[in-house]
């Protein structure tokens, strides 16, 4: 046997995400769906599943004055897409639709 060479662990460089991003990924808020047949629920769908991209469905429920009273999402994709979808639902709740 020859001399032992020091070993190096080969790994991808660590990505550092803000603790709030990690929290929203590990504990997503407002996951699910609202009743799409309700007159006061709007649904948006974005993404490109055909090319391997992320897909996000975002729904908001608006009251008679235009205030967003609830928001739900379903996202299929990477952790940052899930975290940003979760955070977006938190941000829009309680805002007027025009403001959001």
Q: pLDDT by residue (tens digit) across 19-44?
A: 998 999 999 999 999 999 999 999 99
> Does residue 34 lie in a domain region?
yes
Range of the domain at 35: 19-96
- The confidence band for 73, taking pLDDT boundaries of 50, 70 and 90, is very high
Report pLDDT for 18.
87
46 strand-pairing partners: 56
Here the CATH number for the domain that contains residue 41 is 3.90.1010.10
> Does residue 2 lie in a domain region?
no
The pTM (predicted TM-score) of the whole model is: 0.78
Q: Residue 63: which residues within 8 A CB-CB, separation 6 or more?
A: 40, 69
- Could you report the per-residue pLDDT of 35-71, keeping only the tens digit for each? 999 999 999 999 987 777 889 999 999 999 999 999 9
> Does residue 48 lie in a domain region?
yes
> Does residue 11 lie in a domain region?
no
How many domains would you assign to the chain? 1
Q: What is the DSSP letter of 85?
A: H
Pairing of strands 55-62, 41-47: antiparallel
Report pLDDT for 52.
76
> Does residue 30 lie in a domain region?
yes
Residue closest to 66 by CA, chosen among 98, 30, 33: 98
């Amino acid at each position: 046997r020859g001399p032992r060479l020091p070993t190096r662990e080969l790994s991808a460089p660590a990505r550092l995400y803000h603790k709030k991003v990690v929290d929203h990924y590990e504990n997503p808020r407002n996951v699910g769906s609202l009743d799409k047949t309700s007159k006061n629920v709007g649904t948006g769908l974005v993404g490109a599943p055909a090319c391997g991209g992320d897909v996000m469905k975002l729904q908001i429920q608006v009251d008679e004055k235009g205030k967003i009273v609830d928001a739900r999402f379903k996202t299929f994709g990477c952790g940052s897409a899930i975290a940003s979808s979760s955070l977006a639902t938190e941000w829009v709740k309680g805002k007027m639709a025009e403001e959001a």
